């Protein structure tokens, strides 16, 4: 276990306390500050805490979709694969992002700039095919506009 996780575990326990009811606030702080939930950090917390156990923290983190165990990039791209978007070519859009970024769905680029995800429906089917980048929806996305969307976020093609 690295000293970094040990120090952070102590700091989190000091900040929130060592009760089971603080499991979610602690996980939320980790997710916000680290961008993901590092397993070694959960183990460090459990080794220092009296009431919080690693499997309990892990269980809570796997239950809620807001938590992720893999590092996320600075920008999150969510390509809609719902029915309306799918029939309008969402597969080609996701393929264009995969090819431009050289990553698969669920992965983050090595420079930690982009994470690529797919979602079932963004709730704006009239804009199909739709993509959400950092919470903003882009509609009628084409394979050609993928490059422009990435460039606007600092990606050099």
List contacts with ligand FES (CB under 6 A). 80, 82-85, 121-125, 128, 130
Query: Shortest Cβ distance from residue 127 to ligand FES (Å)?
Result: 7
Whether the bond into 16 is cis, omega within 30 of 0: no
Query: Shortest Cβ distance from residue 73 to ligand FES (Å)?
Result: 22
List all residues 6 or more positions away from 6 whose beta carbon is below 8 Å from its beta carbon: 44, 48
Q: Is the Cβ of residue 26 or residue 127 nearer to ligand FES in the bound state?
A: 127
Query: Shortest Cβ distance from residue 81 to ligand FES (Å)?
Result: 7
What value, to the nearest 5°, has the Cα angle with vertex 73 and ends 34 and 116? Answer: 135
Q: Is the Cβ of residue 59 or residue 123 nearer to ligand FES in the bound state?
A: 123
What number of other Cβ atoms are within 10 A of residue 120's Cβ? 10
Residue 120 token pair: 């079932």
Pairwise CA distance, residues 99 & 91, whole Å: 12
Q: Is the Cβ of residue 84 or residue 105 nearer to ligand FES in the bound state?
A: 84
Q: Is the Cβ of residue 29 or residue 137 nearer to ligand FES in the bound state?
A: 137
Could you tell me which of 88, 7, 9 has the C-alpha nearest to residue 43? 9
Instruction: Give the residue at shortest CB distance from ligand FES.
Output: 82
Query: Shortest Cβ distance from residue 86 to ligand FES (Å)?
Result: 7
Residue 93 token pair: 């859009």
């Amino acid at each position: 276990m690295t000293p970094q996780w040990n120090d952070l575990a102590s700091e989190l326990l000091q900040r929130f306390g060592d009760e089971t009811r603080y499991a979610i606030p602690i996980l939320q702080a980790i997710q916000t500050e680290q961008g993901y939930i590092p397993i070694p950090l959960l183990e460090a917390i459990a080794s220092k805490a009296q009431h919080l156990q690693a499997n309990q923290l892990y269980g809570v983190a796997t239950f809620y979709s807001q938590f992720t165990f893999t590092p996320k990039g600075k920008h999150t791209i969510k390509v809609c694969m719902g029915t309306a978007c799918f029939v309008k070519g969402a597969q080609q859009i996701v393929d264009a992002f995969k090819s431009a970024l050289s990553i698969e769905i669920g992965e983050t680029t090595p420079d930690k700039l982009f994470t690529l995800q797919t979602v079932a429906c963004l709730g704006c089917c009239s804009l199909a095919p739709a993509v959400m980048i950092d919470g903003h929806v882009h509609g009628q996305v084409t394979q050609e506009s993928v490059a422009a969307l990435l460039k606007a976020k600092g990606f050099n093609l």
